Structure 1
Amino acid sequence: MHIHNHIQHGSKMEIHELVPQLILTLPIIMALVIYLCAVILTKRRKKSWRFFRMVLWIGGLSCSLAAISGPIAARSHQDFTSHMLGHLLLGMLAPLLMVLAAPMTLILRTLNVKQARLLSRIIKSNPIRFISNPIVASLLNVSGLWVLYTTSLYQTMQHNALLHSVVHLHVFLAGYFFTAAFIYTDPHPHRTSNLFRSSVLIIALACHGILSKYIYAHPPMGVPVAQAKTGALLMYYGGDAIDLILITIFCYQWFKETRPRTTQVYFKHKE
């Protein structure tokens, strides 16, 4: 009877952990299929699409998948360091790679004129304008992390499959909109100045760094001190490494936008 109860309890735990993984894995598979189909359609129409962008998209989806399923996701329920590694993959690295893959540009190339115009109107809409503002995107991203790690939310989501899925979905979407607000690879009708974005970016990255130091000194509810310190160090240095890539790309785009354009004059000779 004891063995039977133990097996039954283990099965419930496996189902409890499997449900959020299935909920979050399905959109990733759909995103992969849609992107690859769009690439195939683009090639059939004899339009170019850079191979490295497809690699970036697959890499971003792979990072997301690693964060929500497999060994990292399994250990993240008991190990805060594994959870923080998943946070870096899902909320920072995956969005960066996927933004660089320019999915909206690819979709616009695939759609017919009528559908493309409809999508363009959606991109230009006020809700998208609001959420793509660098300040709003930074608040959704960084403030959400402060709420997660300074309240009981982190401990609660470990025992609630639906809440667990919602938090992970928010982490990814907030990370994606945050990255897209500073790096312009897709059509962006609500552009802001480089100076404004750089100022907001500095503040947002500073708040992220401060949070990692806060976690080091004040572990989240239910997290052992040793795990909190290791996870905080991973968040600080791992986040800095990804932020460095983001900053480099941002500065490169700023340089390209402001550098003088050289004009070449071609002389035609009459024969």
Structure 2
Amino acid sequence: MTDHGVMDHGVMDHGGHFAGFSGVLLPVLALLVYLHLARRTRRRNPVLGWSRWRTASFAAGLVLSAAALLPPVASVAHADFRGHMLQHMLIGMYAPLALVLGAPVTLLLRTLPVGGARRLSAVVHSRPGRLLTHPATALLLSTGSLVVLYFTPLYDAVTARPAGHWLLHAHFLLSGCLFAHVIAGPDPAPARPGVRARLVYLGCAIAVHAIVAQLMYGGFWVDVHAPVAEVQGGAEIMYYGGDIAELLLAAALVSTWRPERRSRPVAGRTVRA
């Protein structure tokens, strides 16, 4: 860990205006599309409708994403590793959970034409789709990638260019959405195991986050060119902020728990318990 006070200021000079514009425009467009689809769903089936809680959750996820990409968080993130870690928490853990609880895939399946809905369902149930949405794959992409990012020269190489920042944001958001979807998402996931198995995978993610944060705080094998105080502050944000996000994800998972329905004989016949 070494001091590098000027590494990212050039990034802000070249990409600051684009970052601010896209940080507002993309979430607003996504929200408008979601609201349009939700309105179409209510019109098609007024009885079934669409949950306002899901709409509010998706909107909250977009707000968190925009907050991470706009000043003051984005400005600090380009000059201070602690700001980067706060951005990572918002984009990679908090926003994905809120977005996933909005059930965007289910909303698409309800509003697309029959042919389009069938094609989307076929993609979800395809072999690549099942592989991508397997908990092991989601865990490797979301949590396992932190080891590669912070314990190799990759972090400094990626953040040295504006395009690298956006690739990193996209990875955090997409991998975070994938893990939240596999663990506690309401959208269909054919490869999703039972609740107990998902709790195990979530426990693994919690353990890896804690280990990475502790190694980073102690300066063991971490390869981030930033002042020691910044790296330690970033490690604390990862440790405590990650705990809160994972507790929220666990709460969302437990809320999906349903008691198993088992058959048992009563008076010579079989009934459902």
Aligning the two structures, in what range does the TM-score lie when normalised by the shorter sequence? Answer: 0.7 to 0.9
Secondary structure, aligned partner of 1:222: coil
Mapped to 2, the partners of 1:237 and 1:186 lie a distance apart of 28
Mapped to 1, the partners of 2:163 and 2:256 lie a distance apart of 39
For the pair 1:258 / 2:251, whether they are aligned, the reply is no
User: Could you say which residue in structure 2 is the equivalent of 1:171?
Assistant: 172
Contact 1:93 1:242 in 2 (8 A): yes
**C-alpha deviation, 1:204, in angstroms:** 1.8
**C-alpha deviation, 1:154, in angstroms:** 2.0
**After superposition, what is the alpha-carbon deviation per residue over 1:190-224, rounded to whole angstroms, capped at 9, x for unaligned?**
23122322222211210011111111112542211
User: Could you say which residue in structure 1 is the equivalent of 2:6?
Assistant: none
Contact 2:19 2:70 in 1 (8 A): no
Task: State the TM-score, normalizing by the size of structure 2.
Answer: 0.84
Change (3 A) 1:133 1:24: farther
User: Could you say which residue in structure 2 is the equivalent of 1:51?
Assistant: 52
Written as runs of structure 1 = structure 2, the 5 A alignment for 1:210-249 is 210-218=211-219, 220-249=223-252
User: Could you say which residue in structure 1 is the equivalent of 2:27?
Assistant: 28
Contact 1:131 1:137 in 2 (8 A): yes
Mapped to 2, the partners of 1:24 and 1:127 lie a distance apart of 31
**C-alpha deviation, 1:19, in angstroms:** 3.8
Q: Structure 2 regions of 5+ residues with no counterpart?
A: 1-8, 264-273
The alignment's C-alpha RMSD in Å is 2.2
User: Could you say which residue in structure 2 is the equivalent of 1:79?
Assistant: 80
More deviation, 21-30/37-46: 21-30
Contact 1:17 1:161 in 2 (8 A): no
The share of aligned pairs that are identical, in percent, is 37
**C-alpha deviation, 1:148, in angstroms:** 1.5
Secondary structure, aligned partner of 2:192: coil
More deviation, 75-84/148-157: 148-157
Task: State the TM-score, normalizing by the size of structure 1.
Answer: 0.85
User: Could you say which residue in structure 1 is the equivalent of 2:109?
Assistant: 108
Mapped to 2, the partners of 1:14 and 1:28 lie a distance apart of 23
Contact 2:12 2:78 in 1 (8 A): no
Secondary structure, aligned partner of 1:258: coil
> Which amino acid in 2 is paired with 1:105?
T
Mapped to 1, the partners of 2:11 and 2:92 lie a distance apart of 28
Mapped to 1, the partners of 2:150 and 2:178 lie a distance apart of 21
**C-alpha deviation, 1:252, in angstroms:** 2.7
Q: Structure 1 regions of 5+ residues with no counterpart?
A: 1-9, 262-271
User: Could you say which residue in structure 1 is the equivalent of 2:14?
Assistant: 15
User: Could you say which residue in structure 1 is the equivalent of 2:36?
Assistant: 37
**C-alpha deviation, 1:24, in angstroms:** 6.1
**C-alpha deviation, 1:260, in angstroms:** 7.7
Mapped to 1, the partners of 2:171 and 2:93 lie a distance apart of 12
Change (3 A) 1:260 1:60: farther
More deviation, 66-75/149-158: 149-158
**C-alpha deviation, 1:15, in angstroms:** 2.4
Change (3 A) 1:260 1:58: farther
> Which amino acid in 1 is paired with 2:60?
G
Written as runs of structure 1 = structure 2, the 5 A alignment for 1:60-139 is 60-139=61-140
Change (3 A) 1:86 1:260: farther
**C-alpha deviation, 1:69, in angstroms:** 2.1
